[in-house]
Structure 1
Amino acid sequence: MDRSAERGWELLENGELIQRAEEDGYEVIVTTDQSMRYQQNLAGRKLGVVVLMATAWPRVRLRTAEIAEAIEAVRPGQAVEVPIPRHG
């Protein structure tokens, strides 16, 4: 799994990031940017977006199974949210 910083994409705006990811053949973007799905029109896009509903790694790492399921389930042009509870 690549990270945007490793690809030199960390300064790209969301629309540019999605475009570059599509051009490079990515099928899914995983993000903690909860506003991306509302700021970007995903209709007609070649990739899906998985939105993690938390940014704290200690909480996110406990939900890897749910994240993997969302990655498998999301379809092009679609956004799927993965709830990350505060506890448990």
Structure 2
Amino acid sequence: MRILLDECAPRPLKRELADYQVRTVVEMGWSGKKNGELLELMSQEGFTILLTTDQNLRYQQNLQQARVAVVVLVAPSDKLSDLLPLMPDALNVLDTIASGEVIEIGGS
């Protein structure tokens, strides 16, 4: 399983995913790519999960066609301090999420 950490998520979140093969959008040289192009590049490079804070992605893209799963962290902000409490739940879904599925972690 290869995980891509979206550019809207703070890069230090990668430390919370030490047991997985994780790259950031910046590390891949994909900064500024639109979501559709990003999902296509992910699929081509063998990524299976996108970890993001973009709550609109599921409404803007055909994730079934993209052949990737998406974990959306829903917090008051994109700050690391707001996202870290969500990581235990996010880690729990990584091994069970299926291609094309979107799981939101956090929120109300």
TM bucket (normalised to shorter chain) is 0.7 to 0.9
| Aligned 1:1-88 pairs, distance under 5 A | 1-54=22-75, 55-83=78-106
**How many residues are matched?**
85
Which residue identity lines up with residue 76 of structure 1 in the other structure? S
Structure 2 runs not aligned, ≥5 long: 1-21
Which residue identity lines up with residue 90 of structure 2 in the other structure? I
**TM-score between the two structures when normalised by the length of structure 2:** 0.72
Which residue identity lines up with residue 52 of structure 1 in the other structure? L
Paired with 1:64 and 1:58, the residues of 2 have a C-alpha distance of 11
Q: What secondary structure sits across from 1:80 in the alignment?
A: strand
State, as a whole percentage, how many aligned pairs show the same letter.
29
**TM-score between the two structures when normalised by the length of structure 1:** 0.87
Q: CA deviation at 1:36?
A: 0.5
RMSD across aligned positions (CA): 1.4
Higher strand share goes to which structure?
2
Contact 1:63/1:84 (CA < 8 Å) preserved in 2?
no
Contact 2:73/2:86 (CA < 8 Å) preserved in 1?
no
Paired with 2:49 and 2:87, the residues of 1 have a C-alpha distance of 16
1:33-59 CA-to-partner distances (Å, cap 9, x unmatched) read 110111001123321011111222102
